[in-house]
Amino acid sequence: MTILNKPFDTQYNTAPFSKLEEGDFLPAFKISIKKAKSEIDDIVNNKELPTFQNTIEALDYSGEELDRISSIFFNLNASETNEQIQKIAQEVSPLLSEFSNDITLNEDLFKRVKSIYDSKSELDLSTEQSTLLDKKYKSFARNGANLPEDKKETLRAIDKELSQLKLKFGEHILAETNAYEMHLTEESALDGLPEGAKEAARQLAESKNKEGWVITLDYPSYIPFMTYANNRELRKQLSTVFGSKGFKDNENDNKDIVLKIANLRFQRAQLLGYKTHAHFVLEERMAETPEKVNNFLNELLEKAKPAAMQEFEKLKGFAKDLDGIEELQKWDSAYYSEKLKQKLFDLDDEQLKPYFQLENVINGAFTVANKLFGLHFNKIDTIDKYHDDVMTYKVVDAEGELVSIFYADFFPRAGKRNGAWMTSFKPQMIKNGENERPHVSIVCNFTKPTKSKPSLLTFNEVTTLFHEFGHALHGMLANTTYPSLSGTSVFWDFVELPSQILENWCYEEETLKLFAKHYETGENIPMELIEKIKASATFNEGMQTLRQLSFGMLDMAWHGVDPSDINDVKSYEKEAFGATQLYPDVPENCMSTAFAHIFQGGYSSGYYSYKWAEVLDADAFEYFKEEGIFNKTVANKFKTYVLSQGGTENPMTLYKKFRGQEPKPEALLRRAGLIK
């Protein structure tokens, strides 16, 4: 028995990271899988007639130890991985996939679940219990419980292979990101870069015992270079490498993995009686069908494309007038967009960054959460963490009651994947009369402090922090009975509402005055800068919308069809991008081979949900604007009907309880400046 298989003897029952050894995980997984199987056997072998309590409820509370170990392990694999952890992940994933199938393909267990489901109308169930029963029944029916034995075995084999392929896909991307660096020894190569970015590049070189400057594919290094470096040839070099991750015919190539994942998902869907993987996935989404998703994407494309084309022509003309650029390329996009933005709004990130010291922005997010939901964030150093960079907080309500433990991990490092995400180490649930509070984490990759400056964020990083913090609030304020319905366990196209709505506060003077203070002088951000932030909020919005739509359409192109005839990833992708393409294609680049959201994460057939949730968040924020952005009544309704409810009810029902109406897309189009 390992430390992971016993109750944690820690304050607030937090994960004992400093006492964990990598060698603990595999045996811990095997022990907890055995325990979880025994819990399932107890349900199946119960001599009493099946009831909601002894079957559905018991099933939801089963495997608690296994879920906890999985959360800890896979979070470490994302944010503090190494070769040993990756090797364990490859061994463990098929075991977990097999265990999951052991449950959903267990005929005797399904019989008990089905007998309760069939007598549902006679049971006096609460809304939450009714939702849980539906969810449990569907988890069997949608995952092969009604299949004959031979097809069940095929399903097991597919799931096992998929779990390993997804891990391998992610490992390849991390390896490609870590393998590349641009080592510069002439300072002139960095012309145009802000001093902070230069200093960070020098510090990176020093950490690798090199002279000069080092630029990597990590976002805090890559993005400033692509945005500010005057040397077009170096931008091209960096952009081309960035865009070719997983597409180099080397040991980290993902082309075959993409084809295999797409085909296995399709075969799985067909096996279960669905036309495509997208049909299978979308049955459990607000959007419901691939047709609705494609109509939604095409409708937005129709509205956004004319604006995007105008913006692109303007950008091309600007680059030609400024530098004689005859043909605008992808590696020119961020550079000339920034230059044009500076010209039109007299605004650039370097003016803003001194007002966005990381610590102040964190406190700003906390203040917003306090004003809206009455939360207090107290920094504590008495709980374990998996890396020194991680900050830890105890979150309490107005009465001082524990709401959540909160972890925040903000800087890039070799064992951490790129991007930003929210996750949890322990879910919220009400068990044996006790409301167990969640342990929530956000992970980002922001610019590190240098010797002369603290971590100063770009405005884009500020909105990213608020976005992930919105997800965190969804997890922290969860207040449901059952773990599988708690927090962010909602329909995938509803999950981005709490995160995206919180970004809106970053553009409001009332919010910015709370935390946007110059890191040296302490003075508040000047009013004219706030005005410029608001004025520039819709800059190139048509092009940005087109970019998001292109990702959603690529996702649907892979998952809404039979992919068995696709043999060339690049040419298929090029065709999918046809309607949204602005820049010339780069032959060495491929998006699909590094599209971790859909081939590694949980967004397959769901990338459209970012835009779907934008419709929700724009409509919801209009309500706040009408009543006041810190209006307690509106905030309380949002907390009561959205943040605390998790997946206990259909999301449209919850949204209408909050808003009093269905969301209208006009709010998004108004905010984006696409309609007046």
pLDDT in tens, 569-605: 999 999 999 999 999 999 999 999 999 999 998 899 9
CATH number, domain with residue 491: 1.10.1370.40
Same domain? For 191 and 228 the reply is yes
Confidence category of residue 69, pLDDT binned at 50, 70, 90: very high
CATH number, domain with residue 574: 1.10.1370.10
Report, as an integer, the average pLDDT of 492-521.
96
Number of domains in the chain: 4
Q: Among 504, 526, 548, where does a domain finish?
A: 526
Same domain? For 428 and 395 the reply is yes
**Does the structure show a pLDDT above 90 at 652?**
yes
Residues 544, 673 contacting (CB under 8 angstroms): no
Same domain? For 194 and 86 the reply is no
3-state secondary structure 384-432: CCCCCCCEEEEEECCCCCEEEEEEEECCCCCCCCCCCEEEEEECCEEEC
**Does the structure show a pLDDT above 90 at 665?**
no
| Phi then psi dihedrals of residue 357, to 5 deg | -65, 135
pLDDT recorded at residue 389: 96
Give long-range contacts, CB 8 A cutoff, 24+ apart: 385-394.
Answer: 385/17, 386/15, 386/17, 386/76, 386/79, 386/80, 387/79, 387/80, 387/413, 389/413, 391/362, 394/12
């259909």: which residue's tokens?
650
Same domain? For 557 and 634 the reply is yes
Is 649 part of any domain?
A: yes
């709490």: which residue's tokens?
498
Q: Which is nearest to 159 in space by CA: 75, 91, 106, 99? A: 99
Confidence category of residue 99, pLDDT binned at 50, 70, 90: very high
Average the pLDDT over each of 375-384, 508-517, 660-669 and give the range with the smallest value: 660-669
Q: Which amino acid is at 402?
A: L
Same domain? For 514 and 648 the reply is no
Is 165 part of any domain?
A: no
- In three-state secondary structure terms, 9 is coil
Q: Among 84, 119, 142, where does a domain finish?
A: 142
Using alpha carbons, list the distances in angstroms from residue 204 to 23, 79, 212, 354, 444: 32, 19, 9, 21, 18
In angstroms, rounded to a whole number, what is the distance separating the alpha carbons of residues 76 and 4? 14
Same domain? For 578 and 668 the reply is yes
pLDDT digits (tens, 9 = 90+) for 197-247: 999 999 999 999 999 999 999 999 999 999 999 999 999 999 999 999 999
Proportion of the chain above pLDDT 90, given as a percent: 95
pLDDT digits (tens, 9 = 90+) for 360-373: 999 999 999 999 99
Using alpha carbons, list the distances in angstroms from residue 255 to 195, 278, 591: 39, 21, 11
pLDDT recorded at residue 562: 98
Confidence category of residue 114, pLDDT binned at 50, 70, 90: very high
Is 236 part of any domain?
A: yes
More confident residue, 658 or 448: 658
Residue environment code for 633-645, b if the CB has 16+ CB neighbours within 10 A, otherwise e: ebbebbbebbbbb
Is 418 part of any domain?
A: yes
In angstroms, rounded to a whole number, what is the distance separating the alpha carbons of residues 365 and 326? 44
Is 419 part of any domain?
A: yes
At residue 618's C-alpha, the angle toward residues 615 and 619, to 5°, is 80
């189009």: which residue's tokens?
669
Q: Is the pTM of this model over 0.85?
A: yes
- In three-state secondary structure terms, 456 is strand
Q: Residue 1 class from Cβ within 10 Å (0-12 exposed, 13-18 middle, 19+ buried)?
A: exposed
Report, as an integer, the average pLDDT of 493-506.
96
Residues 423, 441 contacting (CB under 8 angstroms): yes
Same domain? For 370 and 517 the reply is yes
Confidence category of residue 171, pLDDT binned at 50, 70, 90: very high
Q: Among 121, 142, 163, where does a domain finish?
A: 142
Same domain? For 364 and 453 the reply is yes
Chain centroid to CA 539: how far?
24
Catalytic-residue membership of 468? yes
pLDDT recorded at residue 487: 97
In angstroms, rounded to a whole number, what is the distance separating the alpha carbons of residues 517 and 361? 9
Report, as an integer, the average pLDDT of 53-69.
97
Chain centroid to CA 581: how far?
25
DSSP E strands: which ranges in 444-514?
none
pLDDT digits (tens, 9 = 90+) for 17-46: 999 999 999 999 999 999 999 999 999 999
CATH number, domain with residue 119: 1.20.1050.40
Q: Residue 582 class from Cβ within 10 Å (0-12 exposed, 13-18 middle, 19+ buried)?
A: buried
What DSSP string describes 41-69?
Answer: HHHHT--SPP-IIIIIIHHHHTTHHHHHH
Same domain? For 61 and 91 the reply is yes
pLDDT recorded at residue 597: 94
Proportion of the chain above pLDDT 70, given as a percent: 100
Is 162 part of any domain?
A: no
**Does the structure show a pLDDT above 80 at 676?**
no
Q: What is the mean pLDDT of the chain?
A: 96
From 171, 338, 461, 468, the catalytic residue: 468
Is 148 part of any domain?
A: no
Report, as an integer, the average pLDDT of 488-499.
94
Same domain? For 520 and 547 the reply is no
pLDDT recorded at residue 370: 98
In angstroms, rounded to a whole number, what is the distance separating the alpha carbons of residues 173 and 164? 15
Is 159 part of any domain?
A: no
pLDDT recorded at residue 669: 86
Same domain? For 261 and 313 the reply is yes
Q: Determine the structural domain holding residue 380 and report its residue range.
A: 354-526
In angstroms, rounded to a whole number, what is the distance separating the alpha carbons of residues 87 and 89? 5
pLDDT recorded at residue 479: 98
Same domain? For 262 and 390 the reply is no
Confidence category of residue 1, pLDDT binned at 50, 70, 90: confident
